[in-house]
Amino acid sequence: MKKPSLFLGVLLACPVFGGGFQAGVARVDITPNLPFWLTGYASRSQPATNVVQRIAAKGLALEDPTGSRFVLVTADLIGIPATICDAAAERVERITGLKRSQVLFNASHTHAGPVVWSNLQVMFDLNAADQARAEAYARGLVTQLSDVATQAVARLAPARVSFAEGEIGFATNRRQFTGNGVRIGVNPAGPMDHTVPVLKVASPEGGLQAVVFGYACHNTTLGGDCYSVHGDYAGQAQAALETAHPGVNAMFLMLCGGDQNPHPRGTFALAEEHGRALATEVDRVLDQPMRELQPPVRTAFETLSVDFAPHTRETFAEEAQSNDVFRQRRARMMLDAYDRGEPVQQLDYPVQAVRLGPDFTLLALAGEVVVDYALRAKREFRGEGNLVVAGYCNDVACYISTARVIREGGYEPVSSMIYYGKPGPLADTAEETIMVGARKVLAEVGWTP
């Protein structure tokens, strides 16, 4: 395989390049000590039994000649709640001075990773010892994620950053239409995004230092029968690149894969096959001519209020009588909120944009974002050079469906909200609220319609 480069901008404050970027990278092992419960599947009945692949958080810091900075933190986790992201960002600000808009967290969404409390808490009925371990792990993540960001900043050195895209096709739309509604299956006629964006970070002499690469596909090659800690296909792809290029940080950026699954799926062999195929495509892109990016670094961050569909206390009083234990738990959470006088009617929703010169822009959306958002953003913001749209950023509070998907129903807009402890589907206005927010942050980093 070819030597990797970095996907997300590098900063080079060095007169040799007439004022380019500087970049710094760091990593930390975040593999939990066993026993520890894995997350993502309600069917699991016991904690993890072993570690097949260790998991990590990785940081990439970029700085331009004016001192403007940005740090990307990626992690082999199902999601990072806003409480953890914001606490880590606050700690980064105390140490480095970086503002909230300058730090971006992205989760790979592996379903063979540890519980990240309180994400998906309705899925679990942990005993006291397991609960204590989960809470301690979440507290530790605040320190680990902030440390990997500050260490990357401390290692800034002259670098070159470039960008190009590839393509690979193992992701398939999973919203299968049947006579009984929409189910999770295989829908090759549904919308998909097979783009593989690649950011390369290299030394001034051209030596590869880091590569950031993305894909819009659930990390669910491994199913609920997996009781081993593992990064799934994204972990395999990172490992393959780092094995081929010793000393390089390979960072996976999860894109808008909320309604996309690997196909086929179900075994460790398939996770390795998909991961190696993705790594091979990244290497192919790195071997081709890539557009070298230039300063400045610009960032923007907004928190939106996205409405849930209307509901009443009576809805959850009835649901509390269900024979489904997960519905019972969700109902109790919603009833408690009603009784406090704080019914859950809106979702705090972070939206972020990062722009490197005129030729690369990252739009970062929170939650399990369905692929429609990326396809729409690329159509509507087509004047934006090399736009990459990522989901699973800065919070993973629930699925983020478009108006079309909400109308169709199924797991993503409806059933999944039970496990996330949310009251039900988003309102059909959610899509437009999010797109207005996307336009705002893109405008703040220099996009003009």
Model confidence at 11: pLDDT above 80: no
* Cβ neighbour number for residue 434 with a 10 Å cutoff: 24
Q: How do strand 360-365 and strand 387-390 relate by DSSP bridges?
A: parallel
Model confidence at 7: pLDDT above 90: no
**6-10, 142-146, 291-295, 399-403: range with lowest mean pLDDT:** 6-10
Residue 126, amino acid: L
Q: What is the pLDDT of residues 407-424, one digit of tens each?
A: 999 999 999 999 999 999
What would the mean pLDDT of 370-382 be, rounded to a whole number? 95
What would the mean pLDDT of 235-254 be, rounded to a whole number? 98
Average pLDDT, the chain: 95
pLDDT reported for residue 9? 36
Query: Do residues 221 and 236 lie in contact, with contact meaning Cβ atoms separated by under 8 Å?
Result: no
pTM of the model: 0.95
pLDDT reported for residue 40? 97
Beta bridge partners of 319: none
Q: What is the pLDDT of residues 131-172, one digit of tens each?
A: 999 999 999 999 999 999 999 999 999 999 999 999 999 999
Model confidence at 10: pLDDT above 70: no
Q: Tokens for 36?
A: 């520890």
Q: What is the pLDDT of residues 222-244, one digit of tens each?
A: 999 999 999 999 999 999 999 99
Q: Tokens for 397?
A: 């509070």
For residue 80, give every residue at least 6 positions away whose Cβ sits within 8 Å of its Cβ, in sequence order, or none: 105, 107, 116, 119, 141, 145, 394, 395, 396
In this prediction, residue 18 has a pLDDT band, given cuts at 50, 70 and 90, of very low
